[in-house]
Structure formats: C-alpha cells, structure tokens
Amino acid sequence: MIGIFDSGVGGLSVWREVALLLPEIDLLYFADQDYCPYGPRTLADIRQRVEKVTRFLLAQEIDMLVVACNTASAAALAHLRGLFSLPIVGMEPALKPAVEKTNSGKVAVMATPATFQGEPFGRLMARFASGVQVFVQPCPGLVEQVEQGDLDGPATLGLLHRYLDGLPAQGVDELVLGCTHYPFLRPAIEAVVGPDVQVIDPAPAVARQVRRLWERLDRTTLGIRQSPRFFTTGDMVRLRQQLRQLLGKEVAGEADVHAVSLA
Ligand code: DGL
C-alpha cells in the first residue's frame, strides 16, 4: 500500500496520476485539513506535524510514502528520511525541466512562502538556475481558495492576476506549479498568463518516480485494488464533496472516507 499525504486536497493532483500508473496498488490518502494551510507556518512547526502524520500512516502499514506537498517536503523530507526506513518520494518545484525548456531564459515558480524559505529550494536554485532568470512568486491564499472549492471565481482570479500579471510582459515563458494545490487552478492560471507561457505540473513525473520505486520493492499484490481510502483531520463530509469536485463522481462514490485526529 502506498500512503500519499498533503495538508489538504492538493496532493490529490499527485494521487490521480499515481492511481493511473499503478492501477493495482492500494492507495491511502491523508489530508491534514485541520492543520491546513502549512505554508504560513514555521518550518519547525511543519516538520513536527509531518512526523506525526507519517507515524499515523506507518501504523496503517504503508510500504511507501509520497509526500505530495511541496511545503512539507521543503520542511521535512530530509528529517523523515533520517527517521524512517521506508521509501519516501517527495516534491520539489520542477525548476530543472523549466530551465531546459525555456527559450527566453526567464522562468517563474509559484509556491507557498514556506517552500521558498526551505533549504531545498536554495539548493535547487544553486543547481539548476545558472544562466537563467528565475522569478520567485510566493502565492499566499491560493491553497485556501482550492480548499474552498473556488477554482475560477472572482476571488481566486483576483489573486492570480495579482501574482501573475507581470510575468508575460517580463518575458517569462515557463511557469512552474510549485504547490500540489495549483494544478487544480491550471485552467484559470493558463487564462491569466496567456498562450506564450507554458505551465509545468510535476505530478506525472512524480508518479513515474513512484512507479520506479514501487517496482524495486517487488511486492506481490492481489491484483485487485480495494476502494481507495481517504483520511482527513478535518470534516469527512466536506472531503467527500471535495473528492467529487476534484476527482469526479466515480472516485468520490467508491471512496472510503474517514475522519481522524492526531493527538
Ligand atoms: N499542497 C501544498 C504544497 O504543495 C500546500 C501547502 C499548504 O498547506 O500551504 O505546498
């Protein structure tokens, strides 16, 4: 079984890709919605919380963990790998493909404030950003809009205009979605930045990495997937509605949804 977690529903953008690539593997999704958003919190705070979430998932006997949250990965991935021996896949803003693809030499990254503060982003910049100009765009508020189900309403569009309007005029041609909530805003983001800016969602590449690691684990499975399981530290009725909005009626209909609290 693979455990996938995020502060909220953002990691579902990774869940849906993993579900597609590994149709026979049981998936357990954990949304830490009582503690969402992680982005404005301190890195130490996030690290502590994420350790608790991981201990909960280990108690459910997962074989592999996907930290489907850029913020949690920035704050805690190294910490988790030091503590636990199971394979862990994390997220990082897809700067490398953006730098490889750009024609103008100007790329932008959208993420939460905490993701940019984490040491991993500094390392990523040092590794891949030489010779290109990187526009770093913190986007407070967008996670909350996705959690509320507002994917293209006036409040969400207002934030997107505020954060993104300047980018095309400055010559940016690649835009990295550095938070797993943002792929659900992709149509609105593309409408705001226009056709000359390519949007990069790392979820399919992350799912391929999950599959590579899973194949190395060499687990036998029953070959039939159980109903997908979803846990939230928030409200399970609301999570079911969110599943319907973000993953569709079919997934929401067969989903096994639970509310849990982390002591
Ligand atoms: N989906 C999370 C990420 O990828 C959102 C973090 C938050 O809760 O602020 O960064």
Tell me what pLDDT residue 263 has.
Answer: 72
pTM: 0.96
pLDDT band at 131 (very low <50, low <70, confident <90, very high): very high
70-122 confidence digits (pLDDT tens): 999 999 999 999 999 999 999 999 999 999 999 999 999 999 999 999 899 99
Q: Does residue 108 share a domain with residue 175?
A: yes
111-130 confidence digits (pLDDT tens): 999 999 989 999 999 999 99
- Residue 92 Cβ inside 6 Å of ligand 1? The answer reads no
Tell me what pLDDT residue 220 has.
Answer: 66
The catalytic position among 69, 76, 95, 257 is 69
Q: Does residue 173 share a domain with residue 111?
A: yes
54-63 confidence digits (pLDDT tens): 999 999 999 9
| Nearest atom in ligand 1 to 7's CA | 8
The mean pLDDT value of the chain amounts to 95
Domain boundary among 201, 229, 244: 201
Tell me what pLDDT residue 47 has.
Answer: 96
| Nearest atom in ligand 1 to 71's CA | 10
| Nearest atom in ligand 1 to 179's CA | 4
87 C-alpha to center of ligand 1: Å?
A: 21
Domain boundary among 201, 216, 236: 201
- Residue 10 Cβ inside 6 Å of ligand 1? The answer reads yes
Residue 33, pLDDT above cutoff 80: yes
- Residue 37 Cβ inside 6 Å of ligand 1? The answer reads yes
Q: Does residue 208 share a domain with residue 84?
A: yes
Q: Does residue 117 share a domain with residue 32?
A: no
Q: Does residue 100 share a domain with residue 197?
A: yes
Residue 48, both tokens? 């502590």
114 C-alpha to center of ligand 1: Å?
A: 9
Q: Does residue 196 share a domain with residue 209?
A: no
Q: Does residue 128 share a domain with residue 252?
A: no
Q: Does residue 196 share a domain with residue 105?
A: yes
Residue 37, pLDDT above cutoff 80: yes
Domain holding 126, by residue range, is 95-201
The stretch 45-49 carries a mean pLDDT of 96
Q: Does residue 211 share a domain with residue 87?
A: yes
Tell me what pLDDT residue 24 has.
Answer: 87
- Residue 7 Cβ inside 6 Å of ligand 1? The answer reads yes
| Nearest atom in ligand 1 to 68's CA | 4
Domain count, the chain: 2
214-251 confidence digits (pLDDT tens): 999 877 665 666 789 999 999 999 999 999 999 999 99
Q: Does residue 211 share a domain with residue 196?
A: no
**Which of 15, 47, 92, 181, when mutated, tests ligand 1's pocket best, judged by the most ligand atoms within 8 Å of its CB?**
181
Tell me what pLDDT residue 226 has.
Answer: 77
Q: Does residue 138 share a domain with residue 184?
A: yes
Q: What percentage of the chain carries pLDDT values higher than 70? A: 98
- Residue 156 Cβ inside 6 Å of ligand 1? The answer reads no
Q: Does residue 232 share a domain with residue 174?
A: no
Q: What is the CATH number of the domain that holds 169?
A: 3.40.50.1860
- Residue 73 Cβ inside 6 Å of ligand 1? The answer reads no
